[in-house]
Amino acid sequence: MVELIDTHAHLDSSDYNEDRAAVIARTFAERIGVITVGVDLESSEAALNLAKHHRFIWAGVGIHPHEAKTFDSQVANALRELATDPKVIAIGEIGLDYYRDLSPRLTQRDVLTEQIELANEIDLPVIIHNRESTKDMLAILRKHRPKRGVIHSFLGDIDLAREFMAFGLHLGIGGPLTFKKNDVLRDAVARIPFERILLETDCPYLTPVPYRGKRNEPAYIRYIAEEIARLKEISVQRVIATTTENARRLFDI
Ligand SMILES: [Zn+2]
């Protein structure tokens, strides 16, 4: 059994090519389960492949906004086909990213919309990336409301948290919660209702303190749980139990 779930990881990343088996072994030794997400068709297939080989790894399949320019009807059909596998438990990582702008914004919006529609049609939750694109994100969510899902790596204030929660969405909380400058996020997390919080690492990125600057991995999810416990003034055990239950319910795992 797993005790904790890292709801957002990129275990197929080439950063793990040298020692992926060891990283996964450490993860399971700590009784952590992992949702590993794809960012394009190839990594979605890789994510599913990992999930098929490990009982406590599940996959999200989707086209990230950076890769939105690669989306076409063939990719859409391939995603739909992948999503029929029982180890695929979400459509993601999908979203908008106006910070890096690696695909045209109009394309990003169309590709996000199509994938929300796909998720709703096949009844899977969505895993959403949103970076410097909040206004357009809220407009899309209003028009194409996902049945359920999570705003991954939520970084906003309590007002924005409430706007996303009004759509029924969960908020994924990760390493940035431990970064010194993020007082606004800490204030939000202290006030977000517990049943809407999911733990995530976004590994290999966004490594929490005390490992900031090094490669991230699912085993570091405990540092996020500890910080939430401190902010909410409750036990780490309760943070773990509640967020794991949230993840199990949302993703039906
Ligand atoms: Zn990610």
Across the chain, how many H-helices and E-strands are there?
Answer: 9, 8
In the chain, where are the structural domains located?
A: 4-251
Percent with pLDDT over 70 in the chain: 100
**Cα of 171 from ligand 1 centre, angstroms:** 14
**Cα of 162 from ligand 1 centre, angstroms:** 22
**What one-character DSSP code corresponds to residue 208?**
P
pLDDT tens, residue by residue, 97-139: 999 999 999 999 999 999 999 999 999 999 999 999 999 999 9
**Cα of 143 from ligand 1 centre, angstroms:** 24
Give yes or no for residue 238 having a pLDDT over 90.
yes
**Cα of 167 from ligand 1 centre, angstroms:** 21
pLDDT tens, residue by residue, 41-85: 999 999 999 999 999 999 999 999 999 999 999 999 999 999 999
Give yes or no for residue 25 having a pLDDT over 90.
yes
Coil, helix or strand for 12?
A: coil
Q: How does the average pLDDT of the chain come out, rounded?
A: 97
pLDDT tens, residue by residue, 198-211: 999 999 999 999 99
- Tell me what the mean pLDDT of segment 214-227 comes to: 97
**What one-character DSSP code corresponds to residue 211?**
S
Handedness of CA 215, 108, 137, 61 (dihedral sign): negative
Euclidean distance between CA atoms 196 and 59, whole angstroms: 21
Q: Which residues surround ligand 1, an ion (CB under 5 A)?
A: 93, 202
**Cα of 217 from ligand 1 centre, angstroms:** 12
Do 29 and 220 form a contact (C-beta atoms < 8 A)? no
Euclidean distance between CA atoms 32 and 134, whole angstroms: 31
Give yes or no for residue 220 having a pLDDT over 90.
yes
Give the per-residue pLDDT at 138. Answer: 98
| Residue that is written with structure tokens 């409301």 in the block | 145
Euclidean distance between CA atoms 3 and 14, whole angstroms: 27
Give the per-residue pLDDT at 126. Answer: 98
**Cα of 129 from ligand 1 centre, angstroms:** 7
**Cα of 8 from ligand 1 centre, angstroms:** 6
Coil, helix or strand for 160?
A: helix
Q: What does CATH list as the number for 4-251?
A: 3.20.20.140
pLDDT confidence tier of residue 192, bands split at 50, 70 and 90: very high
| Residue that is written with structure tokens 């409750």 in the block | 234
Give yes or no for residue 27 having a pLDDT over 90.
yes
Give the per-residue pLDDT at 139. Answer: 98
The structure tokens listed for 153 are 């790596």
**Cα of 248 from ligand 1 centre, angstroms:** 19
**Cα of 11 from ligand 1 centre, angstroms:** 10
Give yes or no for residue 1 having a pLDDT over 90.
no
- E-state strands within 16-160: 32-37, 57-61, 88-97, 126-131, 149-151
**Cα of 155 from ligand 1 centre, angstroms:** 13
**Cα of 206 from ligand 1 centre, angstroms:** 9
Vertex 213: Cα angle to 7 and 2 (nearest 5) = 25
pTM, rounded to two decimals: 0.97
Give the per-residue pLDDT at 68. Answer: 96
| Measured distance between the N- and C-terminal CA atoms of the chain, rounded to whole angstroms | 12
**Cα of 200 from ligand 1 centre, angstroms:** 9
